[in-house]
Structure 1
Amino acid sequence: MTQQPTYTGDPKAHPISEFASGMSGSCLCGSITVTIHDPDLFTKRRGHLCHCSNCRKTSGSYVAANFAIDKSAVEIQDKNGTLKSYDDHATGSGKKVVRSFCGVDGNSIMSEAELYPDKVVLKMGLFPRIPAPEAEAFGAHKHEWEETLEGVVQFETARGGKKLEG
């Protein structure tokens, strides 16, 4: 008799109540753990999707699931010293974005933008659940086959800029 494979990562296996005080996630190899200390993580739409070329590249997908939060609410543990970074100067603003990743498994961890010195942009694929998105950046760069998400504000390019009419 063949054994069925065990799949991991089903977000429905983690009720929202499990994250009443915050949430932790890790890279694939487990060297880097990121903890969000925020009891309001799932009380309203909080995440954002980004369609810019740089975020798509770091996510390895057609969109990046991100979460911008105050640095003071985030704890990063790098038990094996594998956290590496890349200074990205090819941004729409011309301002540097430091993109951090695991040097062993290549997992994107976070971005830190000069434009927002008190914030960190976490890559939500690290976590067991992802807050519902409140906004999409670089909506003008979406592929024509991508759906428009109901209740999500779309910005033409940078978040907080000109809104797209949906």
Structure 2
Amino acid sequence: MSSPSALTGNPNTHDPSTFATGMSATCLCGSIRVTINDSDLFTKPRGHICHCSNCRAASGSYASSNLAISASQVAVSDPSHKLKKYKDRATGSGKVVERCFCSECGNPIMSIAEIFPDMVILKMGIFPRIPKPECESFALHRHEWQGKHEGLVQYEIVRGGKKLGE
């Protein structure tokens, strides 16, 4: 029988040093494997927590843990052709965001935003460990019951835009 940590995917059982050159993960059913090739993944805060309604819907939660990264640093293996894309046109920018997911288990994998043609936005929930985020976007859209993440840059809406409280 597996230990409770193995069954629940306790991230604290994975020392960040084991991901010195990157890390891999699969969707729930194992059909799709995503590998990040980045030696700086855990050397500093990375990624962001997004509170926009589209990311919330795609993640099935009150926020989404994302990592925007150069597409050249990501390898996606999909030998059974289970990766499907939904073209999300209802975005704040008016530009299409392809929401990629596994058609077998429904697991969100990544988003590809038309406004960032050389980047992918990985859905970090599939990975064994998530780097500490550097910021929150759409912080104005947080629910009043949510705790605040101290030390993170909080943007009212988009990353790089007006900061909360400015």
Measured against the shorter chain, the TM-score band is over 0.9
Match of residue 32 from structure 1: 32
CA distance in 2, matches of 1:72, 1:117: 11
Q: 2:78 corresponds to which letter in structure 1?
A: D
How does 1:36-51 map onto structure 2 within 5 Å?
36-51=36-51
Measure, in 2, the Cα distance between the counterparts of 1:15 and 1:5. 18
Give the alignment's TM-score, normalised by structure 1. 0.95
Q: 1:165 Cα shift?
A: 2.1
* Counterpart amino acid of residue 32 in structure 1: I
Query: 2:106 maps to what in 1?
Result: 106
Query: What is the one-letter code of the residue matched to 1:56?
Result: R
Is 1:158 aligned with 2:141?
no
- Asked whether 1:142 is paired with 2:142, we answer yes
**d(CA) in 1 for partners of 2:2, 2:74:** 37
1:116 match: 116
Q: C-alpha displacement at 1:62, in angstroms?
A: 0.1
TM-score, with structure 2 as normaliser: 0.95
1:78-110 superposed Cα distances (whole Å, 9 cap, x missing partner)? 021100000000000100000100000000000
- The corresponding residue for 2:65 is 65
Deviations 1:26-70 (A, max 9, x none): 100000000000001000000200000000000000000000000
Q: C-alpha displacement at 1:4, in angstroms?
A: 8.2
**Cα distance per residue 1:96-138 (max 9 Å; x no partner):** 0001000000000000111111110000011000000101010
1:23 matched to 2:23? The reply is yes
Structure 1: gaps of 5 or more residues: none
Q: Matched residues, percent identical? A: 59
Structure 2: 5+ residue stretches without partners: none
